[in-house]
A = this chain, B = another copy of it.
């Protein structure tokens, strides 16, 4: 199978019924026309074997996750998905792998009306690089540098279960099969919170998505906004399987687990009802977990408001 056959067979699809691309796969560039009054949100994520996923990972789920982590970046900006490019380095052109990978990729892409418009295919160590394009009305994007003192801090869904699954797969501890399977869904097939991101436009002050763990990721909002925070650690929503773990594990994994792909956002106290309305409209649970404060740094408190001293590190590829 040649490079061009591979692209034609697994990545070129019939004309998209709602295509917003003026020219898609097969030319030197794709052409995209921005709708009037809109700005384009752009994000790139690169997934590397043995780093972001295990060698031999299920190809369907890998296709899903590769796009999901990018959709999650759009969600964090309150941007509506439009299109994406896929650059793929493959050790060899294995037909079954390609069929499964592309099926997982396109199932999620179709769910979000997000069209593949171009990319690159090459031989090499397995590496998946997606660049995604979304749109927001000009001035409505949810940024990191706009948190304000007094804002509530919220997170969507539950945290820490992707980390719980990862630890069990790495044999750090044992989980029974039922618990592992439930937690592994969060690790392998995260659901990007696109609907919530859209519903939070005009409601949230600042937002980002949680990929490296809440404590580190929230730190980006704090630094860019020039503020600090206190977090009620015991209010952090843990998944059902993580709730059964010891308190220390629950605290550590919800605070610094990584791979959550939930949204963390801040909103004024006066907009609590609006936040809950957005969550309802997006059918996505949200939990209030802390407060933006003027004093720099993050203060971790237990359910009684007492300071917790936890040793935590956010994920860093080069630390």
A124 lies within 8 A of B318 (CB): no
Smallest Cβ-Cβ distance to A125: which chain B residue = B125
B319 lies within 8 A of A123 (CB): no
B22 lies within 8 A of A144 (CB): no
Q: Does A89 have its Cβ within 8 Å of any Cβ on chain B?
A: yes
Q: Does A274 have its Cβ within 8 Å of any Cβ on chain B?
A: no
Q: Does A317 have its Cβ within 8 Å of any Cβ on chain B?
A: yes
Q: Does A48 have its Cβ within 8 Å of any Cβ on chain B?
A: yes
B123 lies within 8 A of A125 (CB): no
- Cβ 8 A contact of A30, one of B41, B46, B86: B41
How would residues 45 to 86 of chain A score, 1 for a CB under 8 Å from any chain B CB and 0 otherwise?
A: 110111110000000000000000000011011010000011
Smallest Cβ-Cβ distance to A49: which chain B residue = B124
Q: Does A39 have its Cβ within 8 Å of any Cβ on chain B?
A: yes
Q: From residue A79, how far is it (CB to closest CB) to chain B in Å?
A: 6
B143 lies within 8 A of A23 (CB): yes
**Segment of A112-120, A160-168, A230-238, A241-249 in the binding face:** A112-120
A144 lies within 8 A of B34 (CB): no
Smallest Cβ-Cβ distance to A31: which chain B residue = B39
> Which residues of chain B come closer than 8 Å to A4, judged between CB atoms?
316
- Cβ 8 A contact of A52, one of B44, B79, B121, B122: B122
> Which residues of chain B come closer than 8 Å to A145, judged between CB atoms?
27
- Chain A interface bracket (under 10, 10 to 19, 20 to 34, 35 or more): 35 or more
Q: Does A175 have its Cβ within 8 Å of any Cβ on chain B?
A: no
Smallest Cβ-Cβ distance to A123: which chain B residue = B317
With contact pairs A43-B29, A141-B29, A316-B4 given, residues A125 and B127 touching in the complex (Cβ less than 8 Å): yes
> Which residues of chain B come closer than 8 Å to A141, judged between CB atoms?
23, 29, 31
Q: Does A224 have its Cβ within 8 Å of any Cβ on chain B?
A: yes
Q: Does A149 have its Cβ within 8 Å of any Cβ on chain B?
A: no
Give the CA-CA distance A46 to B89 in the complex, in Å.
Answer: 8
With contact pairs A26-B144, A28-B209, A31-B39 given, residues A3 and B125 touching in the complex (Cβ less than 8 Å): no
Q: Does A6 have its Cβ within 8 Å of any Cβ on chain B?
A: yes
A28 lies within 8 A of B123 (CB): no
Give the CA-CA distance A33 to B319 in the complex, in Å.
Answer: 35
Q: From residue A11, how far is it (CB to closest CB) to chain B in Å?
A: 12
Contact surface of A with B, Cβ cutoff 8 Å: 1-4, 6, 22-23, 26-34, 39-46, 48-52, 73-74, 76-77, 79, 85-90, 92-93, 117-125, 127, 129, 131, 133-134, 136, 138, 141, 143-145, 207-209, 220, 224, 316-319
- Using A44-B129, A51-B122, A120-B129 as known contacts, list a sample of 8 further A-B pairs with CB atoms less than 8 Å apart, ordered by residue number in A: A2-B316, A23-B143, A32-B40, A34-B34, A44-B87, A46-B129, A90-B318, A93-B318
5 residue pairs of the A-B complex, CB under 8 angstroms, read A22-B138, A27-B145, A29-B43, A43-B85, A46-B87
